[in-house]
Amino acid sequence: MDRIEFEEGETIEFKRQWTEKALEDIAAFSNTNGGVVFIGIDREGNVVGFKGTEEDIQKISNQISSNLGITPRIIIENLKEKPILKIIVEPARFIVSYKGRYLKRVGSTNRNFPPHELAARIVELQGKSWDLLPSNFTVNDLDNAAFKKFTDMAKSKIVSIQNTNTKTALQNLNLIDKFNLRNGTILLFGKDPQKAFPQAKVTVGLFTEDGTEILDHKEFEGNLWEQLTGVINYFQYALRSELKIQIDGLSPNELQHKETWEYPLEALRELLINALIHRDYTSQSHIQIRIYPDRIEFWNPGELPPNLKPENLLKEHPSIPRNPLLARIFFYAGFIEQWGTGTLRVIKACQERGFPVPRFENIFGGFRATIYKEKYPLRELEQLGLTSRQLKIIQLLKTYGKVTIRELKKHFPHISDKTLRRDLQNLIEMELIEAIGEKKGRFYVLKN
């Protein structure tokens, strides 16, 4: 048979012939990024041809329309000199269901939307954000003391809340929808936010290096300001600090005591705020912070927006808040910038302490940021598949800063120069180290 070059994937599905099973693929494409269903190609990619008539094509179109409520474009094309039917599906402006199921495309498979993702998708398609939706709570559920503390802090920036009563200030800040507080307002200033949203909390755990033993565990609830304060206070309790004496002059009176924390607190604070305001509150999961001997991890439900990749956070990037109301109020309170500079400040704070650049990633249906104490921790290197000899070379570079082939020979007397150079070249290709200088005086250092 004639085999085609492309394969099934996130936007491509093959069907040997039309069956109602294809409706699942069309529904999943509609709810994700669109795609094409090819009728007349088997699962192995062999072109067998579409043998239907114009009347069959019309029946297929009617089936799609009556079952899914959409009308994708259907055309006949020749491929490998055989006719095939192409059903071209665009992303829908509403959630498409099939037999009571809501499907999305993941790789080459169709999966049910998890409930929180479905809720978030519906809100997104309505052109709204979750934090701006009205809640079932009224002004009577407002913590007036918390709201007054905020307005006292922000009124110099916001003319519209100066010399106004509480309800007017709420209206001017768009924190209320007619008579009901918005979801975000409950999180910010509600008397009991967890009564409405029990998932709105932060858990912090102290773990052994391999993560098998929990040394301490705390949960932080209340409004977002209380969660922020509680977690930062816990950091100051749980993370080690050291007292450094700095001499600024010749007199003993000019000795200065400086307390240095195990991690840069400004970086921890920035990542915590990021998790609080950008998490997906439609998910029933909560923010999780894991403290290990060699690293600290911040995880929150909800991946980055599709047009913002983790690597974009390492450079200037646009601000795309999931919860614009929360972000705006934190901005008015002076806790964040509006221009997507938070991760850059985290990177700067880490580098000023000699820490490696933090890792940002979408994982487990959420976003995780990890700060490592040292560059290239053993756990990470082992996951890259380094040999024991390459691991030792990295350790030598950590200890001595730089090495030459001659110095490596002292540590590996039974290994040939050719083998050591091959090890070094592999580490260079993995962008872990770099070579400095010409061949005769060449030495190797860890890559920044």
Residue range 258-289, pLDDT digits in tens: 567 889 999 999 999 999 999 999 999 999 99
Q: pLDDT at position 376, please?
A: 73
Are the folds of 2-113 and 378-446 the same?
Answer: no
Task: Give Cβ neighbours of residue 124 (< 8 Å, ≥ 6 apart).
Answer: none
pTM metric for this prediction = 0.69
Check pLDDT > 50 for residue 247: no
| Across 199-220, average pLDDT | 93
Q: pLDDT at position 281, please?
A: 95
Please give the span between the terminal C-alpha atoms of the chain, in angstroms, as a whole number.
52
| Across 377-395, average pLDDT | 85
Q: Specify the range with the lowest mean pLDDT, choosing from 47-61, 176-190, 384-398.
A: 384-398
DSSP 323: S
Amino acid present at 166: T
Check pLDDT > 50 for residue 246: no
Query: What pLDDT digit, counting tens, does each position of 321-344 carry?
Result: 999 999 999 999 989 876 678 999
| Across 287-310, average pLDDT | 93
- Cβ atoms of 314 and 163 within 8 Å: the answer is no
% of the chain beyond a pLDDT of 90: 67
Q: pLDDT at position 255, please?
A: 43
Higher pLDDT: 373 or 10? It is 10
What are the residue boundaries of the structural domains of the chain, listed by start?
2-113, 128-374, 378-446
pLDDT band at 159 (very low <50, low <70, confident <90, very high): confident
Q: Which fold has domain 128-374?
A: Heat Shock Protein 90 (3.30.565)
- Cβ atoms of 35 and 105 within 8 Å: the answer is yes
Amino acid present at 316: E
**CATH 3.40.50.11720 is right for the domain spanning 378-446:** no
Phi, psi of 128 (to 5 degrees): -120, 165
List 182's β-bridge partners, or say none: 134
Q: What would the two tokens of residue 210 be?
A: 């391999």
Tally the C-alpha atoms within 13 A of residue 80's C-alpha that lie toward its C-beta: 14
Q: pLDDT at position 26, please?
A: 97
pLDDT band at 250 (very low <50, low <70, confident <90, very high): very low
Check pLDDT > 60 for residue 245: no
Gyration radius of the chain's alpha carbons: 29
CATH tag for 2-113 (out of 3.30.70.20, 3.30.950.30, 3.30.1330.50, 3.30.70.100): 3.30.950.30
| Length of the chain measured in residues | 448
With the C-alpha atoms ordered 350, 355, 361, 366, is the resulting torsion angle positive or negative?
A: negative
The DSSP line for 332-389 is: HTTS--SSS-HHHHHHHHHHHTTPPPPEEEEETTEEEEEEESSSS-HHHHHHTT--HH
| Across 5-26, average pLDDT | 94
pLDDT band at 257 (very low <50, low <70, confident <90, very high): very low
Scanning 163-292, the segments in alpha helix (DSSP H) are 166-172, 183-189, 193-196, 224-238, 265-278
- What CA–CA distance (Å, rounded) separates 328 from 335? 10
Q: pLDDT at position 137, please?
A: 95
